[in-house]
Structure 1
């Protein structure tokens, strides 16, 4: 059995939105080629998530055939982008974030220093 070495991948693609996870290898190859016009026979990991965010499938061509990955989380859910059906290229660090339950998009929340203004107004610093 070979381990999946992310450093050996040319690319990692994530299909945003929902994919029917009843599809097997041939069905996912069809999605890759027909819906996204990409070549599944490269050293590329393609990731798909269904309507439930607690599981996903991955498809990877290895020199002698396809490797189909399936992961189901017992606790927790994936932060899977649902905005539209597109293929989005990921960096290995983003894949790690996704698998840890974090969003692949780094977010910066607006900071409203209202409490600081209130402290200054009351001369409490």
Structure 2
């Protein structure tokens, strides 16, 4: 499989994508529509209009991965863009999305993190 480190970003292409596209077609969409580099090591997600199929594109350093998933029941709850043609997800949101969970029905909780130079932890809002 592939490793997903803390620096790995996950981008969702909004709108419908033709699931007949392969390596070259999806690579072109990443460059043109998402304005990103397909060899960056980030994960790029695409879905069809019915939201029952998903394609994931990932470059592991030696080659390009194109993985697909077909939902047997139900549909993916695809995030809507706030601006542009892509949405960035956290690793947790990614896990929920590919598991079929509706992200609009979830909420993130506030969390604590120690800020360097301060004695106590500071309450931060999660992104």
TM-score when normalising by structure 2: 0.73
1:41 aligns to 2:39 (yes or no): yes
Number of residues paired by the alignment? 106
1:56 aligns to 2:54 (yes or no): yes
Runs (4+) off by over 4 Å: 82-85
Question: 1:93 matched to which residue of 2?
Answer: 92
The question of whether the paired residues in 2 share the 8 Å contact of 1:95 and 1:104 is answered with no
Root-mean-square deviation (Å): 2.1
Q: Which runs of 5+ in 1 are unaligned?
A: 109-125
Question: 2:5 matched to which residue of 1?
Answer: 7
Q: Which has the higher helix share?
A: 1
2:5 is paired with a residue of what secondary structure?
A: helix
Question: 1:113 matched to which residue of 2?
Answer: none
The question of whether the paired residues in 1 share the 8 Å contact of 2:44 and 2:57 is answered with yes
2: distance between equivalents of 1:27 and 1:49? 14
1:68-79 correspondence to structure 2 within 5 Å: 68-79=66-77
Structure 1 or 2, whichever has the larger Rg, is 1
Q: Which has the higher contact order (CA 8 A, sep 6+)?
A: 1
Q: Which runs of 5+ in 2 are unaligned?
A: 108-127
